[in-house]
Copies of this chain bind each other. A is one copy, B any other.
Amino acid sequence: MKAKVAINGYGTIGKRVADAVAAQDDMEITGVVKTRPSFEARIAQEKGYDLYTTARENIEQFKKSDIKVSGTLDDLLDKADIVIDATPGDIGAEYKELYNKHGIKAIWQGGEEHELAGFSFNSEANYKEAIGRDFARVVSCNTTGLVRVLYALDTAYGIRKARVTLMRRAADPNDIKTGPINALVPDPIKLPSHHGPDVNSILPHVDVTTMAVKTSTTLMHLHALNIELKDTPGEDAIINLFKERPRIRLVSSSDRIKSTAEAMEFAKDMGRPRGDVWENVVWKDSISISKGELYFFQAIHQEADVVPENVDAIRAMLELERDGARSIAKTNKILGI
């Protein structure tokens, strides 16, 4: 019997996780929760997902829009084994009591604090610790992207110190309200940024400091990484290390992938759903050892990289698979990573 998964919040992350879960052979979507009718709700219906809404008084609105609603979040939580909370940042915390009341396991996203779940998750770094847990938080897109490379490097060579500048996309492609259109915004101004401590929620012993800037783009975050390793290998060794990781994709400027825009176009041409890039995109030709320190660039698709992590977290928490590497391989194979 397949594990029953509820999705609370069917936006940028929720709809992607829903499709990734539905594609697996050991889990299924019991229902998705949307506050208001929208094109996304309509497409969810066309895909065959049962739609639920947050409160009974919203049902009328869905009826008017000719979208069938099967009930409320409360109804859904009684039918599922686990809920993916993909509600907007800081809203998810408000649902903890409700999830507790229904005795349902829950996975929050990186917009919530570590303390809410008491456990932060990354498939490669700490799958084992997630087994059987009731609550987990899949860390943010940026943190997921950082943990993937830092975990690999720390395991192989030991990290003495990592210094990262995060150039963040300002808005998602469908967001028409957010700026800046033409500016660079140090955010936060106060340094170092919170991204380093967030990495430490998964890799507590890694010394990492971060600076972050919002940039006028909607396509991917870009990380400029400087890392002092305890053992310094050659550039080829780093390339081979990354090649072997399940969720790092090496690209090259000689292949004409020279920017976040071309990396996204590449994913579209590969036929990826919604043009998603689930892996870290690491520029192979940026990998450089200079004066004993490692430098490279990576791009992170903010809408997508946490999606396979959510699938693995479900598998660990519901004990569908006790081996992290096997869950990752299974998720990757089905998604086509």
**Interface of A with B (CB < 8 Å)?**
163, 165, 167, 169, 180, 182-187, 189-192, 207, 209, 211, 213, 215-220, 222, 224, 226, 253, 258-262, 283, 285-288, 290-291, 293, 295-297, 299
Q: Considering the chains assembled together, what is the distance between the CA atoms of A215 and B184 in angstroms?
A: 8
Q: Which of A185, A219, A262, A288 has the most CB of B within 10 A?
A: A185
Query: Across the two chains, which residue of chain B brings its CB closest to A221?
Result: B184
Contact B283 A184 (CB under 8 A): no
**Chain A interface SS verdict (over half):** mixed
Q: Considering the chains assembled together, what is the distance between the CA atoms of A211 and B299 in angstroms?
A: 15
- A165-B167, A186-B258 known; 19 new pairs, CB 8 Å cut-off, are A165-B224, A180-B259, A180-B261, A182-B219, A183-B259, A183-B260, A183-B262, A184-B219, A184-B259, A184-B260, A184-B299, A189-B253, A189-B286, A190-B288, A191-B296, A209-B293, A211-B297, A215-B217, A226-B226
Query: Across the two chains, which residue of chain B brings its CB closest to A220?
Result: B184
Q: Considering the chains assembled together, what is the distance between the CA atoms of A295 and B180 in angstroms?
A: 24
Q: Which of chain B's residues have a CB closer than 8 A to the CB of A180? A: 217, 259, 261
Q: Which of chain B's residues have a CB closer than 8 A to the CB of A186? A: 222, 224, 258-259, 283, 286, 297
Contact A189 B285 (CB under 8 A): yes
